[in-house]
Amino acid sequence: GQQLNQSPQSMFIQEGEDVSMNCTSSSIFNTWLWYKQDPGEGPVLLIALYKAGELTSNGRLTAQFGITRKDSFLNISASIPSDVGIYFCAGLGSSNTGKLIFGQGTTLQVKP
Amino acid sequence: EPEVTQTPSHQVTQMGQEVILRCVPISNHLYFYWYRQILGQKVEFLVSFYNNEISEKSEIFDDQFSVERPDGSNFTLKIRSTKLEDSAMYFCASTLISGRGSYGYTFGSGTRLTVV
């Protein structure tokens, strides 16, 4: 079945630094979503990407939908302590039922 | 902002018991989902539901699992005879449109199920 590989698995950075994480797949996705999950909470949508090559920003977050439709990256600029959490990429599966396939997650820790 | 509401937030049950996890999706949404997240792992798709029937289910969603939308507002996940490995966070999600757009794909805060 379709799978996503997300990297890095974890990051420990200093406040103010920029962060980049990415997801790759061997198969094509038509939509990429980036979520953040805080402890004990459900995933919260950060950015949605619908077109190959699309570059979208949401405040300090920027994400791109790879031109091959097999990858996506998320950048966070000027990180702050509240950026701490787990970031997941998710691809919309090919079945058209709305099934999301998630990456393994990137755990981000920010040192003040 | 509209929310997906899940109850209870935490459920402890004995192995072999039946549990029902409840969700109230966003009111005008048409597509409903259950996902599972074992502690420390990624979120995994269980089942999608549209027009009062299952539209897709994963290998995890075996005969012990069932879903229902009994009254037009609630969406439930039942596990008939729980096993230790069913211990996980269960997330409900809903969206207005499936397919390419998936606008407003919203997750609830989850139910932590602990099977002892």
Q: Which range among A10-24, B40-54, B93-107 shows the weakest confidence by mean pLDDT?
A: B93-107
B109/A40 CB distance under 8 A = yes
**Residue B71's pLDDT band (cuts 50, 70, 90):** confident
Q: Closest to A42 (Cβ–Cβ): which among B42, B50, B91?
A: B91
CA nearest to A30 within chain B? B100
Q: Which pLDDT score is estimated for B94?
A: 93
> B40 or B58: whose pLDDT is higher?
B58
CB pairs under 8 A between A and B: 73
Cβ–Cβ under 8 Å, residues A80 and A37: no
Tens-digit pLDDT profile for residues B2-19? 899 999 999 999 999 999
Quote the strand ranges of chain B, DSSP E: 5-7, 10-13, 19-24, 31-37, 44-50, 53-57, 65-68, 75-79, 88-95, 106-107, 111-115
Tens-digit pLDDT profile for residues A23-77? 999 999 888 999 999 988 899 999 999 899 999 999 999 999 999 999 999 999 9
A50/B101 CB distance under 8 A = yes
For B35, what's the count of Cα atoms within 13 Å in the CB-facing half-sphere? Answer: 25
Overall average pLDDT of the B43-72 stretch: 94
CA nearest to B97 within chain A? A98
Q: Which pLDDT score is estimated for A39?
A: 86
How far is residue A63's CA from residue A73's CA, in Å, rounded to a whole number?
A: 5
Enumerate chain B positions whose Cβ falls within 8 A of a Cβ in A: 4, 31, 33, 35, 41-45, 48, 50, 55-56, 91, 93, 95, 98-103, 105-110, 112
Q: Smallest CA–CA separation between A3 and chain B, in Å?
A: 11
Cβ–Cβ under 8 Å, residues B91 and B32: no
Q: Smallest CA–CA separation between B3 and chain A, in Å?
A: 11
How far is residue A62's CA from residue A75's CA, in Å, rounded to a whole number?
A: 5
Q: Smallest CA–CA separation between B81 and chain A, in Å?
A: 25
